[in-house]
Amino acid sequence: MTTPHLRNYIGGQWIESESGEVFDDLDPATGKVIATATKSGKADVERAVEAAQRARDAWRLYPAPKRGEILYRAGEIMLQRKEQLAREMTSEMGKVLAEARGDIQEGIDMTYYTAGEGRRQFGDVVPAELPNKWAMSMRHPLGVVAAITPWNFPFAIPTWKIMPALVLGNAVVFKPASYTPMLAVRLVEILEEAGLPKGVLNLVLGPGGALGDALVTHPGVDLVSFTGSSDVGAHISEIAGRLLKRVSCELGGKNAIVVLDDADVDLSLEGIVWSAFGTSGQRCTAASRVITHRGVAKDLVDKLVARTKKLRMGHGLEATTDVGPVVSKDAQEKIQSYIPIAEREGATVAAGGQIPTAGALANGFFHEPTVLIDVKPNMRVAQEEIFGPVTAVIEVRDLDEAIKVLNSTKYGLSCSVYTKNVNNAFRFMRDAETGLVYVNAGTIGAEIQLPFGGMKSTGNGHREAGRAALDVYSEWKSIYVDYSGKLQRAQMDEPSTAS
């Protein structure tokens, strides 16, 4: 069987990059090449942005309900291809098949939900302070949106950006993560089949770095919508900020599950295992900290360690696999580097902690699910995003201390509390400094109809998904129509009360 080759999509054509260079797309469970992809650079970015600029006006003027209908058709195609897409995702980035199906489903949900915005996009009509004057607001598209996405949700996250951008009348240049070009190509193919006009969506494949900088600083790009690491997010914000470009950033997390002494410990255990080790801990909302009340700490840790040791690593397409590989050798090494850091600072490895070196697992990029105990809130493993199957258990004496520890990192994405006490639950909901809060559930599993994003250094104040996404991909325009036939001066003229 020949290895598939993936190309750019620019101006409605599937084309090679100007350089003609390629890069490999690997299955992280086996280390084998599953596809090659064209490697783009600055010249390809230029072509993609120019194509988007050429298409943007016609698309802006195409009626929004009709834009929404194209999205509905894309949603239908996604539904038909769900299983095939999920299998390709597992092979491309490693998450187990059930989770890959969830990723595709989230993309379908987002696409259908956003399609409905074709017939909403409500503005306000409000009373004017002067007679015979009309006052209203409406949304206006930004122009060309650069959508830069990570590999951990290679289908869902691109839909969070591309669908609202399109339905609001923007053209898009999509730069997916280099680890997941195949899923990006599949999404673009679907939108092409659904009838998206040429040039409205353009795809450039290739490594961040020079390509990314060229895209972010291109004068034809009006908004940079970025999801990824805090380091790259800060870099993008800096170079785009100098050009006064709009930038939306969704960045890292150091999420925590809090277990209070009145919690159902067995239920919390389910939430911890799912949130810490699902997608091999590579979700931005992964529970990389467990903050437990001393009263239940021993029971919880004993059960967590026993459960963690039983988790089976393997290829995500195998039904027996609980935990798949991490995305790359670099990721595997970075995760492993935190084990001696933790031990030097006084933490203890209670489960896992190793890279498997025997059998088929040694060919892929696996890391054992790991539980660290004796962790203090200021240790590096309790502060830094490890982005792997590692969770750090911190003991506290009460709810106040739990909230203090929870809020003690620079991140503010997701958290949860396990408690049967409604007063504790409400205090927690009020005081948690995170964009997502769960009660008696883990830290993962957001639904697309509510805003998604984080406080503090997890972002720059924007939210994806839900109605909030519309504010990222459009500007407000306030319109006044004076039909009095004379000069009327707001804040100065008094309307007559005579009838």
Q: What are phi and psi of 476, to 5 degrees?
A: -85, 135
Indicate the residue type of 67: R
Write the DSSP string, 33-64.
EEEEEE---HHHHHHHHHHHHHHHHHHHHS-H
Q: Tell me if residue 245 falls in helix, strand or coil.
A: coil
Give CA torsion, residues 397, 400, 402, 403, to 10 deg.
Answer: -170
280: left (phi over 0), alpha (psi -120 to 50) or beta: left
Shortest Cβ 67–ligand NDP spacing (Å): 25
The 8-class DSSP code of residue 484 comes to: S
Catalytic residue among 50, 92, 117, 284: 284
The token pair at 444 is 């993962």
d(CA 87, CA 73): 22
Shortest Cβ 179–ligand NDP spacing (Å): 6
d(CA 394, CA 272): 13
In the complex with ligand NDP, the residue whose CB is nearer, 235 or 404, is 235
d(CA 443, CA 111): 24
Beta carbons of 379 and 339 less than 8 angstroms apart: no
In the complex with ligand NDP, the residue whose CB is nearer, 227 or 474, is 227
250 part of the active site:
yes
Contacts of residue 142, defined as CB under 8 A and 6 or more positions apart, other chains included, come to 170, 222, 223, 246, 473, 474, 475
d(CA 285, CA 153): 12
Q: How many angstroms separate the Cα of 439 from the Cα of each of 267, 272, 276, 384, 429?
A: 12, 13, 16, 24, 8
In the complex with ligand NDP, the residue whose CB is nearer, 128 or 455, is 455
In the complex with ligand NDP, the residue whose CB is nearer, 334 or 427, is 334
Binding-site ranges for ligand NDP (CB under 6 A) = 148-153, 175-178, 207-209, 212-213, 216, 227-229, 232, 235-236, 250-253, 284, 385, 387, 413, 454, 458
In the complex with ligand NDP, the residue whose CB is nearer, 37 or 259, is 37
In the complex with ligand NDP, the residue whose CB is nearer, 181 or 271, is 181
249 part of the active site:
no
d(CA 464, CA 471): 9
Beta carbons of 369 and 360 less than 8 angstroms apart: no
Q: What are phi and psi of 359, to 5 degrees?
A: 65, -160
Helix axes 64-80, 97-116, angle to 10 degrees: 160
In the complex with ligand NDP, the residue whose CB is nearer, 159 or 178, is 178
Contacts of residue 332, defined as CB under 8 A and 6 or more positions apart, other chains included, come to 325, 326, 355, 365, 366, 367, 388
Q: Tell me if residue 480 falls in helix, strand or coil.
A: strand
Q: What are phi and psi of 217, to 5 degrees?
A: -95, 0
Shortest Cβ 282–ligand NDP spacing (Å): 7
Catalytic residue among 250, 368, 385, 464: 250
How big, in percent rounded to 5, are the helix, strand and coil portions of the chain? 40, 20, 40
Nearest CA to 174 among 143, 195, 209, 145?
A: 145
Residue identified by tokens 């295992």 is 273
Could you tell me which residues are beta bridge partners of residue 462?
none
In the complex with ligand NDP, the residue whose CB is nearer, 229 or 488, is 229
Shortest Cβ 243–ligand NDP spacing (Å): 14
In the complex with ligand NDP, the residue whose CB is nearer, 113 or 153, is 153
For the annotated catalytic residues, the residue numbers are 250, 284
